[in-house]
Amino acid sequence: MNALSEIMCVARQTDNVQTRQGPFLARVERDILQRCKEIVKTSMSVPYMVREKFVLGSYICQCMEPGFVGDGKQCVDIDECAIGNYTCGDNAVCVNALGSYACFCADDINECESDTKRCSSNAECVNSEGSYQCICRQGYEVRGAECRDIDECASGEADCKQDSQCINVPGSYACQCKLGYHLTGDLCQDVNECQQNLAECHHRADCYNTDGSYLCVCKSGFYGDGYYCTS
């Protein structure tokens, strides 16, 4: 008779007993089966398998279910996430489960808050699900890999009033009254240089205001360009 035989007991929330036996004597077999039933009864709440290996009237307990470790009498869950024994994809986090683990997508990271230098100085960082975008600021446009200033004056996008001129500035433009005009409200009006003594006419010349300028004319009996008059 073979002195080394074994019987496997499986306990997974059930009272069924499965046996694989060698040439055991009837009495020994009954004792072993009774021991298996006791194992099953005390293991109803334990979600793992227990193997009892009988060697010459004794036995050894071993944890059989993957994801558990212990001496067989007490099997505890292995935290695969804590020990790094898991495989999750990018942007996923490991969450331990009983006898196993699960992978869940991580919360979106706001790259715009975590790194203020991701975009150029003329672009704004806009966060998106799992990523981000660099969008040119107002007054700038994409040229190659950079955001360049838009010349609104040259492109015709500027909206300047009559008698004003457009001046391009970084990211925008400004409207400035032409020479000989001054701003009144939101309009450019003519400056009367003659009335305001701004004209540079000769003292022997008369000043005539014109739209945006003035005209100097030598008085009767005098000759010249109006800026200098002689008899």
User: What predicted TM-score, i.e. pTM, was given to this entire model?
Assistant: 0.46
- Cα–Cα dist 33/20, whole Å: 11
pLDDT, tens digit (0-9, with 9 covering 90-100), for 18-46 = 334 444 334 444 555 566 556 545 543 44
Length of the chain: 231
| Buried/exposed code over 39-53 (b: 16+ C-beta within 10 A; e: otherwise) | bbeebeebebbbbbb
CA angle at 130 for the pair 128 and 134, rounded to the nearest 5°: 45
pLDDT, tens digit (0-9, with 9 covering 90-100), for 126-145 = 988 778 889 999 999 998 88
pLDDT, tens digit (0-9, with 9 covering 90-100), for 107-130 = 777 888 876 567 888 999 998 877
Higher pLDDT, 136 or 63: 136
Q: Cβ contacts of residue 176 below 8 Å, gap of 6+? A: 164, 165, 167
